[in-house]
Amino acid sequence: MTHPPETGPEEILRVEAVRVVLSGRLIIDDVSFTCLGGEFVGLIGSNGAGKTTLMRVILGLVRPAAGRILVAGEPRSRRNPLIGYVPQKINLDPDVPMRARDLVGLGLDGHRFGPPWPSAKRAARVDEMIEAVDATGFADSRVGSLSGGEQQRIMIAHALISRPRLLLLDEPLANLDISSEREVVKLVASIAARHKVAVVVSTHDMNPLLTVMSRVVYVAAGRVASGTTDEVVTTRTLSRLYGHDVDVIDVNGRVLVVAGRENEGLHHHEYDNGEPPP
Amino acid sequence: MFSAFMINAWEASTIVALIAGIVGFFTVLRGASFAAHALPNGAFAGAAGASLVGISTVLGLGVFAVMGAIIIASLGHRVRSDVATALAMVVMLGLGALFLSMTTEYAPQIYSLLFGEILGISSTALVPTAAMGAVCAVAIFGLYRPLMLSSLVPDTAEARGISAVRTEIGFLLVLALVTTMAVPVVGTLLIFSLLVSPAATARSFTKRPGAAMGISVAFALTTVWAAIAVSYVTGLPIGFFVGAIGAVLYSAGRAWASWRQGARTTHRKADRMASSSPSPRGRWTS
Ligand SMILES: Nc1ncnc2c1ncn2[C@@H]1O[C@H](COP(=O)(O)OP(=O)(O)OP(=O)(O)O)[C@@H](O)[C@H]1O
Ligand SMILES: [Mg+2]
């Protein structure tokens, strides 16, 4: 990968030749990509491909066996206020005594000592963030009793309120129906553009992201590819990555990635999770 | 009921209830009720050991409670936390059985630790009780936000530099200190109920964390005060009343919560029928 001198948006994330070994097993090998402010990166891979692991490496929770990670030009360190993170699994007790807005507030100052002191400034910032993720309607509900999609929004607000430069969302679309899926994708894309935040979203299904992502990082056992969406999302590249025929088709102006005819017959499914062959 | 020797009982139990209400809030939030059961019971073995070698039972309690906390925390990231807690308790209870078999004489001061000696607290015992309580309160308030974040969203907290392992050890050490402080006063069984039931009850009455902690403290104090008073009048054991009052408050809380839930749903339904214009973003704005 070449390193052209930066003009325009700042480079927020640089992953260089990262290899991760967990309990003696090679999980990720030779992954490299960069991500600019305002860019929306899709981290695509099937179950167990190493998406969560790669995010934990970027967060500094897992040490790579080789390679390095730069966040805003600096070697990444634990407790990096530049990174906001929404994990794949959120387990909240339904009757936990905490409103959604309290959790958003903890995103601002949860690492500090002592109880939070209410202030008009803090409340205003929480309100502003809640509005930004369109969560005003349920901000005062118990956070544990919210639906998966609503919790997802609150967690995005929680991650964004400290104004990070890089936002990592691990499978944010996993539990969403199609309309909330579209809502969340639109929301995250607009936040990325508006606040010049670099966003990395992991998913096993790239179709919902095709309209918004500018860069694709594909992880699968032994195969890694990264590039702009136009480079990667082509019938040839994807067929090679997925290990079987994949068609990139245009349906009324929308690009869709579908399994090729050989595998699925004439009436193939629109969605292909891209399992690589064993 | 307020005679000189009862004054110590009121004071000691007030300190214990106050601290149990505060620490109990996080005990329930972290799902650490089983640890709150295991540490006092396991520490009981330490008291038995201490009396065997002729040192202070409080010291024995403290050593075993801390040991239990360390075992739970160090096993915690290898096995599930309830299993880690059970294993720690098994080790401590095993030692307790050994120590008790080695004491030939009947040791009433050990058995009194099961149910506490609220009425037998001396004024000299009040000072260490208050000091330990103060340390617990300072630790909990100091760690309030990191502890809360780590209890609710551990991965996110970890990414922000709040170590789940250190938080767990810190919290369990506080729980060990509560144990050491409270067992001589209210006994192993009552400190467990005071840690869990007021904090669990408080959840039914509020959805704000600060208020939940306040209500938890208020319920712990009410429970203990009422139990001592009723026990004094009736002559029945304090433990019975602590348990009974805890159960009544908890049931009342659930009833209140479901009554309010019902009231709110009908309210919402009426709202929805009034504004019948469907909006594409209705899912988020309703
Ligand atoms: N601590 C660990 N020790 C050994 N192997 C691990 C460890 N953590 C994860 N793995 C393995 O690493 C691989 C990648 O896991 P990871 O959770 O990163 O996948 P993923 O792409 O996020 O999958 P999913 O889509 O199911 O979330 C899996 O095969 C998993 O078994
Ligand atoms: Mg994952």
Subunit contact A114:B142, Cβ cutoff 8 A = yes
| Length of chain A (residues) | 278
* pLDDT band at residue A146 under the 50/70/90 scheme: very high
Quick: pLDDT tens for B115-136.
777 777 788 888 999 999 999 9
Subunit contact A95:B211, Cβ cutoff 8 A = no
pLDDT, residue B226, reads 95
Cα A54 to averaged position of ligand 1 atoms, centre (Å):
9
Q: Which residues fall within 8 angstroms of residue B88, CB to CB, at 6 or more apart?
A: B38, B42, B68, B71, B72, B75
pLDDT > 80? residue A183: yes
Quick: pLDDT tens for A10-51.
888 999 889 999 988 888 888 888 888 888 999 988 888 889
Subunit contact B29:A96, Cβ cutoff 8 A = yes
Subunit contact A114:B286, Cβ cutoff 8 A = no
pLDDT > 90? residue B248: yes
pLDDT, residue B1, reads 65
Mean pLDDT for chain B overall:
87
pLDDT, residue B274, reads 47
Q: Cβ distance A201 to A229 under 8 Å?
A: no
pLDDT, residue A277, reads 41
CB-based neighbours (< 5 A) of ligand 2, an ion: A 51-52, 88
- Which residue of chain A has the CA closest to B141? A114
What are the helix and strand counts (H, E) for chain A? 8, 12
Q: How many Å apart are CA A49 and CA A30, to the nearest integer?
A: 14
* Tokens standing for residue A152: 């997802």
Whether A37 is in the pocket of ligand 1, judged by its Cβ within 6 Å, is: no
pLDDT > 60? residue B11: yes
Q: Whose atoms come closest to the Cα of A28: which ligand?
A: 1
User: Could you count the other beta carbons within 10 Å of the beta carbon of residue B10?
Assistant: 17
Quick: pLDDT tens for A70-110.
988 888 666 667 899 999 888 899 999 999 999 999 999 98
Whether A168 is in the pocket of ligand 1, judged by its Cβ within 6 Å, is: no
CA angle A186, A190, A193 (to 5 degrees): 140
Subunit contact A99:B148, Cβ cutoff 8 A = no
Q: How many Å apart are CA A83 and CA A43, to the nearest integer?
A: 16
pLDDT > 60? residue A1: no
Report the gap between the CA of B205 and the closest CA in chain A (Å): 9
pLDDT, residue B285, reads 37
pLDDT, residue A265, reads 40
pLDDT, residue B279, reads 40
Subunit contact B145:A110, Cβ cutoff 8 A = yes
At A91, phi and psi to the nearest 5? -115, 105
Cα A88 to averaged position of ligand 2 atoms, centre (Å):
6
Whether A91 is in the pocket of ligand 1, judged by its Cβ within 6 Å, is: no
Nearest atom (ligand 1) to Cα of A56:
18
Quick: pLDDT tens for B152-193.
999 899 888 898 999 999 999 999 999 999 998 888 889 999
pLDDT > 50? residue A271: no
Q: Tell the residue nearest (CA) to atom 14 of ligand 1.
A: A50
Q: Which residues fall within 8 angstroms of residue B184, CB to CB, at 6 or more apart?
A: B57, B58, B61, B113, B116, B117, B121, B125, B129
Quick: pLDDT tens for B265-276.
666 555 545 444
pLDDT > 80? residue B108: no
Q: What is the domain partition of chain B in residue ranges?
A: 4-277
- Tell me whether B261 touches chain A (CB under 8 Å): no
Q: Which of A78, A116, A183 sits opposite B145 (nearest CB)?
A: A116
* pLDDT band at residue A8 under the 50/70/90 scheme: low
Q: Which residues fall within 8 angstroms of residue B47, CB to CB, at 6 or more apart?
A: B57, B58, B60, B61, B64, B110, B113, B183
pLDDT, residue B267, reads 61
Q: Whose atoms come closest to the Cα of A49: which ligand?
A: 1
pLDDT > 90? residue A6: no
Q: Whose atoms come closest to the Cα of A20: which ligand?
A: 1
Whether A25 is in the pocket of ligand 1, judged by its Cβ within 6 Å, is: yes
pLDDT, residue B19, reads 97
Q: What phi-psi label fits residue A98: left (phi over 0), alpha (psi between -120 and 50 degrees) or beta?
A: beta
Quick: pLDDT tens for A239-267.
766 666 777 776 666 667 776 655 444 34
pLDDT, residue A96, reads 94
pLDDT, residue A61, reads 87
Whether A116 is in the pocket of ligand 1, judged by its Cβ within 6 Å, is: no
Q: How many Å apart are CA B82 and CA B97, to the nearest integer?
A: 22
The model's pTM: 0.85
Quick: pLDDT tens for B49-101.
888 888 888 999 999 999 999 999 998 878 888 999 999 999 999 998 888 88
Which CATH fold topology does B4-277 show? ABC transporter involved in vitamin B12 uptake, BtuC (1.10.3470)
Domains and CATH numbers, chain A: 7-82+164-232 (3.40.50.300), 96-162 (no CATH)
